[in-house]
Amino acid sequence: MKLSKLFGKTTKEISDEAESANHRLLIQGGFVDQLMAGVYTYLPLGYRVLKKVENIVREEMVLAGGQEILMPALQPAENWKQTGRWEMMDDLFRFTSYYTKKEFALGPTHEEVLSPLAKKFNSSYKDFPYAVFQIQTKFRDEKRAKSGILRGREFLMKDYYSFHSDEEDLDKYYEKMEKVYDKVFDRLGIGKETYYTYASGGTFAKYSHEYQTVTSAGEDMIYICDKCKIAINKEIITDLKNACPKCGNKDLREETAIEVGNIFKIKDKFTKPFDYRFISKDGKEKPVLMGCYGLGISRLMGAIVEIYNDDRGILWPKEVAPYDIHLISLNSDEEAEKVYKGLQEEGFDVLYDDRDISAGEKFSNADLIGIPIRLVASKKTLAEKSVEVKERGKEKTDIVKIDRVSKELCDLLDKK
């Protein structure tokens, strides 16, 4: 992609509201545009990142055995009244059809749709366990939408639901999903910063578990046990007598963090209101139990920026970077164009800064956008049939012969 043609431009102007790094850098870098508080357009650069996060999550959910579906955002009020959440949730967007006078909710989650749906299909013990998931746009009437794409009124989520015939099976599945989640965070480059966190289980379980990514932009306070590499949400720390529930360690480290995912044994909380039961092996009717596993796709993108930034801009992990390579031409457009085309033919995704602006501006834009590798093609390097190679976040530059640059880039990007 040529930067001269890219829709969305880097900007130095930024609103005072942009307190968090992801808000500021994603707007300045031309990744997103804020339509209103908590509501964003993903521009081409940002859309590419969002899709990469989404695809990593999808791959792991399919490997876990989940079948992908797509449930509607528009949901009938009756389903929400059946579970009691219509009256309970202040942040549920509610409205009425002009024509039919029917009341709708705009889905912030999908238990109210999925439970009665699953009931139609799977009611024999032979059907269990099974799991479905979706990656879908959700809506929440946030009291105070802030922190960029970390907390939005409209956001992209992955919600995965497992169904079980008994608690033992649910427990086993839940443990499997913990490992799946660890892998997702590792692949996204935030494994080290993301803690499996004990949180309140609400009315139906002792605990739920959150995945909390340590960042100053977070709104939650967690207490980390460095021995077990787990954390406890502040909301239950006194219940746990200020000790790690695994090892009893009281030497906990306090950090602010953002909840990027949560997993929940919701058991029969949402199957019961819809009377979803199954016929067991011995012919008896029994309640269906559920596990629920959420991940905020757009929030993950924001969390990655919160972790990977410096005073110049973003440093995208290569797995989610919008492009592999940021190529800069310095007064050498014809030859740089050849390098650009050559790299694309070799299978690299290249953002090519072909604009008629100063070298300084090109360099600072490259740092702001944060693509893992910067290549500079100038009269000087090209005279030696070379380009300059630099990794984002490192100061060292290398001059590499053009006929060997592909090999060098594959090594840097772990590509084949």
List interacting residues with its own copies (CB under 8 A): 5-9, 33, 35-37, 39-44, 47, 50, 67-76, 90-91, 93-95, 97-100, 102, 104, 106, 113, 117-118, 120-122, 130, 132, 137, 139, 141-144, 153-154
DSSP conformation class of 124: B
- Please state the φ and ψ torsions of residue 242, each to the nearest 5 degrees: 55, 30
Return the number of the residue (39 or 221) whose C-beta is nearest its own copies: 39
Return the number of the residue (137 or 397) whose C-beta is nearest its own copies: 137
Return the number of the residue (144 or 241) whose C-beta is nearest its own copies: 144
Return the number of the residue (113 or 150) whose C-beta is nearest its own copies: 113
Can you read off the two tokens belonging to residue 237?
């720390």
Return the number of the residue (193 or 296) whose C-beta is nearest its own copies: 296
Return the number of the residue (128 or 223) whose C-beta is nearest its own copies: 128
Q: How many CB atoms lie within 10 A of CB 293?
A: 25
Can you read off the two tokens belonging to residue 319?
């797995």
- CA–CA gap between residue 47 and residue 109 (Å, rounded): 23
Q: Which residue has the tokens 């929400």?
A: 80
**Is residue 358 within a helix (H) or strand (E), and if so which, with residue range?**
none
Cα angle at 257 between 307 and 221, to 5 degrees?
155
What's the closest the beta carbon of residue 276 comes to its own copies, in angstroms? 14
Can you read off the two tokens belonging to residue 122?
């799977």
Task: Compute the radius of gyration of the chain from its Cα atoms.
Answer: 24
Q: Which residue has the tokens 């059946």?
A: 82
Return the number of the residue (139 or 195) whose C-beta is nearest its own copies: 139
Can you read off the two tokens belonging to residue 146?
């802030």
**Is residue 411 within a helix (H) or strand (E), and if so which, with residue range?**
helix 402-413
What's the closest the beta carbon of residue 250 comes to its own copies, in angstroms? 39
What's the closest the beta carbon of residue 98 comes to its own copies, in angstroms? 5
What's the closest the beta carbon of residue 154 comes to its own copies, in angstroms? 5
Q: How far is CA 44 from the centre of its chain?
A: 17
What's the closest the beta carbon of residue 38 comes to its own copies, in angstroms? 8
- CA–CA gap between residue 270 and residue 129 (Å, rounded): 17
Return the number of the residue (297 or 366) whose C-beta is nearest its own copies: 297
What's the closest the beta carbon of residue 173 comes to its own copies, in angstroms? 15
Return the number of the residue (32 or 314) whose C-beta is nearest its own copies: 32
Nearest to 189 by CA among 305, 317, 26: 317
Return the number of the residue (88 or 203) whose C-beta is nearest its own copies: 88
What's the closest the beta carbon of residue 263 comes to its own copies, in angstroms? 20
Nearest to 333 by CA among 361, 304, 309, 357: 357
**Is residue 324 within a helix (H) or strand (E), and if so which, with residue range?**
none
- CA–CA gap between residue 38 and residue 211 (Å, rounded): 22
Q: How far are the Cα atoms of 44, 58, 320, 360 from residue 67, in angstroms, in the given order?
A: 29, 10, 24, 49
Are the C-beta atoms of residues 375 and 368 closer than 8 Å to each other? Answer: no
Return the number of the residue (102 or 379) whose C-beta is nearest its own copies: 102
What's the closest the beta carbon of residue 292 comes to its own copies, in angstroms? 16
What's the closest the beta carbon of residue 36 comes to its own copies, in angstroms? 5
- Amino acid identity for residue 403 in this structure: D
What's the closest the beta carbon of residue 4 comes to its own copies, in angstroms? 8
Q: How far are the Cα atoms of 74, 185, 211, 383 from residue 68, in angstroms, in the given order?
A: 19, 20, 22, 53
What's the closest the beta carbon of residue 248 comes to its own copies, in angstroms? 42
